[in-house]
Amino acid sequence: MGTARTTGRLTATLLAVVLAGAGCGAEAVAPTGAPPASTPAGGAATPAGGAASPGAAPTGPVSVPDTLRFTGRTLDGTAFDAAGLAGRPVVLWFWAPWCAACASQAWTVAEIAPGFRDTVPIIGVAGLGEHQAMADFVTEFELAPVPQLDDRDGVLWRRFKVAEQSTFVILDRDGRVIHQGWLDGEDLTRRVTALAA
């Protein structure tokens, strides 16, 4: 590991410790009348051939729960359709580019997300900042392998009723919200590993 990366991690960690109590939530998006994220899916997201094993990616057609009926664009401009995630547990990570707590969590996300890409996808949802600042954050914390949605308008933040960052929203394979809130790196790793088992 290079000196610059080590220094960056130490700086991010120290800032996170100082600001963690505030949760970086000073400029949170206020929820609106959007449909709640925890609305249960109309049917189980089970592959046509039968029940899926806990960590397996779906092997056939699945029903798409309401929580995954959204589209958008990634920070690099690629079209994104959440329906493609149906049938698997999913982690949505809501972050802002100026948030020190988000910076401290970015290293964990960058480290574990590639290993769980097919079983428990982690999707970043960037908001509360300008496009260039969000792109710089992705570069600085080596998050390019992890899909990062551009949500500058706060559409997904409101949809999932996220009121502060950094917030993790974890959906089970049926699209039900099973966790929403803060997670440190150890808790995130433990939860994702359990969902993939």
Segments making up each domain of the chain, as ranges: 65-197
Of 60-64, 93-97, 131-135, which range is least confident? 60-64
CA distance 164 to 59: 36
Q: Which residue has the higher pLDDT, 11 or 103?
A: 103
Q: Comparing C-alpha atoms, which of 66, 82, 54 is closest to residue 194?
A: 54
Residue 99 makes CB contacts below 8 A (sequence gap 6+) with: 19, 24, 128, 165, 166
First to last CA, the chain: 29
What tens digit of pLDDT does each residue of 120-135 get?
999 999 999 999 999 9
Choices 3.40.30.10, 3.40.640.10, 2.60.40.10, 3.40.50.150: CATH for 65-197? 3.40.30.10
pLDDT (average), residues 53-76 = 78
Q: State both tokens at 41.
A: 């899916």
Q: What is the DSSP letter of 74?
A: B
Neighbours of 40 (CB within 10 A): 12
Contact status, residue 146 vs residue 165, Cβ threshold 8 Å = no
β-sheet bridge partners, residue 73:
79
CA distance 142 to 148: 12
What tens digit of pLDDT does each residue of 108-120 get?
999 999 999 999 9
Residue 186 makes CB contacts below 8 A (sequence gap 6+) with: none
Q: State both tokens at 112.
A: 């574990």
Q: What is the DSSP letter of 129?
A: S
